[in-house]
Amino acid sequence: MKQNKQEWEVDLDPLLGNNAVAHSFRDFLLFIRTEKRYSENTFIGYQHDLSDFLRFLTTHLGNTPSLNDLQDLKTMDFRSWLAKLSQKDLAKTSIARALSAVRSWFRWMERHNLVSNPAIKSVRSPRLPKAVPKPVSVIDAKNLIQLAGELYDDDWQGKRDIAVFTLLYGCGLRISEALNLNIEDWPSDNTLVVFGKGGKQRRVPMLPQVKEAIALYQSATPYAQDPASPLFRGKKGGRLNPRQIQLSLQKMRPLLGLPDTATPHALRHAFATHILSGGGDLRSIQELLGHASLVSTQRYTEVDKDRLLGVYNAAHPRAK
């Protein structure tokens, strides 16, 4: 899949002025978007968090911050900012993300000999609850895929959603990875090359059911099959927006009695959890999911442990 190499414009907040800090802010964001290849959502999140941090400093210091001001910030200044975020009733995960964005920016400035401030390294992130993936069950995954074809009057859109959900569950893709595929990316053999976070490439084997669902969708779509065009298209022919898939699943949840945690990403969780339950090893699942660290993959052992405990409690005579 070809990566877009367009320049990303960064809108500088007029309140931040046009000084060296503002330009460092802009250059850092361009760096994470064009060189680090962070996703658009992460890029927007960093831009928001850093803008909020600089606006706080403008009030906290009584002036538009300079590079020298950033250099002289104390641990207490950063803690005051975090306290301000807490007063907004932000989730701990949002506060942790904001702190991560500021830390990354300060590391980047240090590498470019702009600012060196050891105080930011001593600020602790909020203690986050241990996140356990919430996959859908095998039966629910099958029901979601089947029902997806019944939400549209246009047959091709129903086949499209079936293909998307089958791909998410059958290959463990992120929704962004699936919808960024072009027709030329779809292989003739049984292995799909996927570009994940940071542009990292991985190879994912495809089940016959996945290939069949994609073939049925492609035979029904009214749009030309140009190699460089999106594999999954919206109603008007453009690249399918992730929000449309989220809305489709949102409509299906009450029909199938599923909780709000049944999202497109829950199908990726289901892919990993069901392979693990079937005897798959963590290293293989890590490669299939494209996780940089095995720690991320190990979360699925908690899901499987809960499943086994549920089976034990339901079946063992002494557990009753």
Which residues does the annotation mark as catalytic? Answer: 174, 197, 265, 268, 291, 300
Task: Give buried/exposed letters for 162-187 (b at 16+ CB in 10 A, else e).
Answer: bbbbbbbbbbbbbbebbbbbbbebbe
